[in-house]
Amino acid sequence: MSESEEWGISVRRSGIRGEDDGGSLNEGHETAGRPGPDAAAPVPGQRRAPDAGAPAAPGGAGPDPAGDPGPGSRRKAQRKRKKPKPRWRRILVWTAGSLAVLIAAVAVAGYLYLEHLNDNITKRDRSAGGSDLAPPEPNANGETPLNILLLGSDSRDGEENSELGGASDLAGGPVRADVQMLLHASADRSNISLISIPRDTQVPIPECTDPDTGEVYPADESASINTALSHGGPGCVVDTWQDLTGVYIHHFMMVDFAGVVDMADAVGGVPVCVTDNVDDPKSGLRLEAGETTIEGEQALQWLRTRKGFEDGSDIGRTRAQQMYLSNMVEELQSSTSLTNTTELMGLAEAATSALTVNHEIGSVQDLYNLAGDLREVPNDRINMVTLPWLPDPAAPDVTIIPDPAKSEELFTMLRDDIPLDDPDARPADPEESGEPGGEGSESPEATPDAPAEVEVAVRNGTGGALQAPVSGRAGVITGELQRLGWTAAATDTTAASEEATALLYPDIADQANAEAVAEALGVPHGAVRASTAVDRVTLVIGADWREGVAYPASSADPTEDPARDEGPAVDEEDITSGKDGPDCMEVNPAYTW
């Protein structure tokens, strides 16, 4: 192909490409064979295709006599012959750019969705100022127990809550926590203990301040524990539990009527079982004998039913709540919702919208981390029990009170991190070498030091919500200890309030000395326990020892019933455990069909 022919092709192609932009041609060429009227005077910045017969222009702008087009024309021809970028490269660049935009969009959408879920969660203060317990210290392995208070409120606020809960006239009024369970996860996360308390249990409620309004609610000497929620929010319930148990509570989680329904729907239902057909007109629950998977409003009816179970008391309702919670945990662990994205999003939406939690766990990430912390606890080591109780002397047919002896024994198990299903277990001695014959620190059975060498702090904890402290009580017991040879005993003015007398020791090496003090004064062995809140052997005189220098016999306890069972705090048959398999609630014979 001649040079002129080659340029002709280039011109024709350029003309075609220029049709859509007003006739401007690629590289500024005119259409081949049709020089314009101003061909002799080109437009500045526009170059013409060389004419094969034209003489060479000065400076080599045109072809020379030897046919050389000149350096300018050669560079132009090289540009025309340059190959376009491959199509696959353009596609790759476009795809990479699109993926980058897509990834960024997904990241933004994911962030926005997480923020949406975080906004769903209601956050409140962990405490209302009514308790000053310190968190437990890590054990020798750096592990710390975890305590979470689980609450179910009877709030009628909102259309859905009012419709589900009934009694819409209560909307806007005081809110109660009819479901209350303390979850204790052991330091090594090998087991979980859940303690339920019936809603009408009479306990002292401390002074609480509502964090939203600043309103101060005075202490109540004795009130149903479900009313603590109306004394300053869930933080006041936490404070009440801490004062009752001596157990520091790290977090709380609360759900209302609508939340229970939404969670049951999201998990696909929870299986429950009854021994006979049951019909409770008050709650609306109506089930056939055997196992039924309940969800939605029926789940709420199950949790609220009292008359239909056992003897129609609040104790039966508490056991039914334990069954529901245990089975829901199993359903969550085995549910496809945890692997199905759509169902998981629905569960996340329901869960976050239902929850009120303390600020420390007020985000999806915090809750996810908390769930991960508890996920490895085997289901057969999750054990639930109802707080031991006695009829309330003030209204024995209506309300109940905690059994002083058995409740304190149960609370001691929690404080000492002893599982419900192994009450004989004791915390390991962190100083022991673990090797047969190896040298370790003193064992709990070690011989105590001479009394004169042991520092003992004595605190007056005889006061409480129910009564004022006995003036000078710590001084009286300090004098008695010094008379018995404990000459290093001294009065400690640290504020204290204990229902039951306690002998605390800071380290395993001090246990033998604490037990020796207990024996000298007649304090029961169950009152001796480890505590990171003290730095020496410390005797806290409780409301159960308001007079005398020797600890009173159990018969002196006005709540003591000589005929009542003197067995352990928790009987094995009283424990609801994940290892038990299917279980059925006993039905009240008056509510069958």
Any residues with CB less than 8 A from the CB of 549 and at least 6 apart, and which? 476, 477, 480, 521
* Per-residue pLDDT, 135: 87
The two three-digit tokens of residue 349, written as one number: 């939406």
Residue intervals of the chain classified under CATH 3.40.630.190 are 122-415
* Of 424 and 25, more confident: 424
Tell me which of 28-32, 194-198, 278-282, 474-478 is least confident: 28-32
CATH 3.30.70.2390 domain position(s) in the chain: 451-567
| Helix, strand, coil percentages for the chain (3-state, nearest 5) | 40, 15, 45
- What are the tokens at 37? 């009227």
Task: Name which residue leads in pLDDT, 160 or 358.
Answer: 358
Distance CA 355, CA 120 (A): 8
Which whole number is the average pLDDT over 408-420? Answer: 88
Instruction: Compute the average pLDDT of residues 181-197.
Output: 92
The rounded percent of the chain whose pLDDT value lies above 90 is 27
Is 236 a residue whose pLDDT tops 70? yes
| DSSP code of residue 342 | H
Mean pLDDT of 159-175: 48
Question: Which range (80-94, 127-141, 355-369) has the least confidence?
Answer: 80-94
User: At a CB cut-off of 8 Å and minimum separation 6, what does 167 contact?
Assistant: 156
Is 50 exceeded by the pLDDT of residue 433? no
Bridge partners, residue 540, by sequence = 459, 502
Cβ atoms within 10 Å of 316's Cβ, excluding its own? 22
Tokens of 471: 């003036």
Single out the residue of 16, 36, 34 nearest to residue 25, CA to CA. 16
CATH number assigned to the domain covering 451-567: 3.30.70.2390
Three-class secondary structure of residue 84 per DSSP:
coil
The predicted-structure confidence for 323-352, as pLDDT tens digits, reads as follows 887 777 677 666 655 566 676 777 778 778
Quick check: 250 pLDDT over 90? yes
Beta bridge partners, 152, equal 179, 255
Residue 289 — very low, low, confident or very high, per pLDDT cuts 50/70/90?
A: very high
Q: Give me the residue label for tokens 């569960």.
A: 347
- Contacts of residues 8-15 at CB distance under 8 Å and 24 or more positions apart, as own/partner, are 8/32, 8/33, 8/49, 10/49, 10/80, 11/49
Instruction: Specify the range with the lowest mean pLDDT, choosing from 248-257, 258-267, 396-405, 492-501.
Output: 258-267
pLDDT band at 514 (very low <50, low <70, confident <90, very high): very high
Higher-pLDDT residue of 529 and 78 is 529
Do 433 and 441 form a contact (C-beta atoms < 8 A)?
Answer: no
pLDDT per position as a tens digit, 48-105: 444 444 444 444 444 454 455 555 555 555 555 555 556 655 666 666 666 676 666 6
In terms of average pLDDT, the best of 43-47, 98-102, 146-150, 412-416 is 146-150
Alpha carbon distances (Å) from 273 to 179, 289, 441, 573 = 20, 7, 51, 18
Name the fold adopted by 122-415.
Aminopeptidase (3.40.630)
Percent of the chain with pLDDT over 70: 68
Cα dihedral across residues 499, 502, 504, 509: positive or negative: negative
Q: Averaged over 271-299, what is the pLDDT?
A: 91
Average pLDDT over residues 252-279: 84
Whole-number Å distance between alpha carbons of 191 and 187 = 9
Strand order in the sheet with 122-124: 122-124, 355-358, 251-255, 146-153, 177-185, 192-196, 382-386, 576-577
> In this structure, are residues 199 and 226 in contact, taking their beta carbons and an 8 Å threshold?
yes
Higher pLDDT, 467 or 498: 498
Helices (H) then strands (E): counts for the chain: 13, 23
Q: Are 382 and 326 in contact (CB under 8 A)?
A: yes
Distances (CA, A) of 576 to 187, 327, 476, 580: 21, 11, 45, 7
More confident residue, 280 or 102: 280
552: helix, coil or strand? coil
pTM: 0.62
Residue 215 has pLDDT above 90, yes or no: yes
Rounded CA separation 545/527 (Å): 13
Mean pLDDT of the chain: 75
Question: According to the model, what pLDDT value does residue 157 have?
Answer: 46
